[in-house]
Amino acid sequence: MIPTANNRQKQRMRTAIEQAFISLCRERSYEAVTVADITERANVGRTTFYRYYQTKADVLLGIHADRFRRMQFAPINKAEWLTAAPPPQLITFFEQAQHQGRFMPYLHELGKDVDRVTRHLDDTMTAYFHDNLTGILVADDCRIPLPVLAHTLAGSFTWVLRWWVQDRPAYTPAEIAAHTHSLLRAQFIAAA
């Protein structure tokens, strides 16, 4: 599909708003950032902001949704799920999360938006694992129903990711990827 001028303009506006949001979150807390701050930094009007986002939480969710669409971090086939070593894409994901996590708000900083953001991220991760497993497992052959497995994998993954980015325990991206893969692998084996 060839991008139209209108699509390119929309993407430029979204990018400007998201970049303004990220730079503001580097300077101050999420709660201290307002839509007015974002529009001023992005050099766009409030009408333009509201054409693309309803709230600043939607900007944060848009950034995360875009990252998840680009990153394929789960094992891509049954052999990768069963191997003891984490797939390279999972290590890369944690390397990027380590860098980007320093610039994004922590859950406890989201104030009234925490439940909405958390729910959206959990739903996004569950859909990601469900889609990944649909191509790998035959639902009728699973000992654990696919929706239950997808929710369990997503919950385990997001909990480890949040803990690792927020609390900053002394695990390298490769180490946390190995531990995470071991946890996810055990759940996959239990279901397959």
Tens digits of per-residue pLDDT, 7-31? 888 999 999 999 999 999 889 988 9
Q: What range defines the domain where residue 102 resides? A: 62-191
What is d(CA 146, CA 71) in angstroms, rounded to the nearest whole number?
A: 22
pTM of the model: 0.79
What is d(CA 167, CA 171) in angstroms, rounded to the nearest whole number?
A: 11
Residue 90 shares a structural domain with residue 24: no
Residue 46 shares a structural domain with residue 12: yes
**Residue 151 burial by Cβ neighbours in a 10 Å radius (0-12, 13-18, 19+):** middle
What is d(CA 103, CA 152) in angstroms, rounded to the nearest whole number?
A: 28
Residue 133 shares a structural domain with residue 92: yes
Q: How many CB atoms lie within 10 A of CB 86?
A: 25
Residue with tokens 């599909």: 1
Most confident of 70-79, 103-112, 179-188: 179-188
Mean pLDDT of 90-105: 77
Residue 125 shares a structural domain with residue 86: yes
How many domains is the chain built from?
2
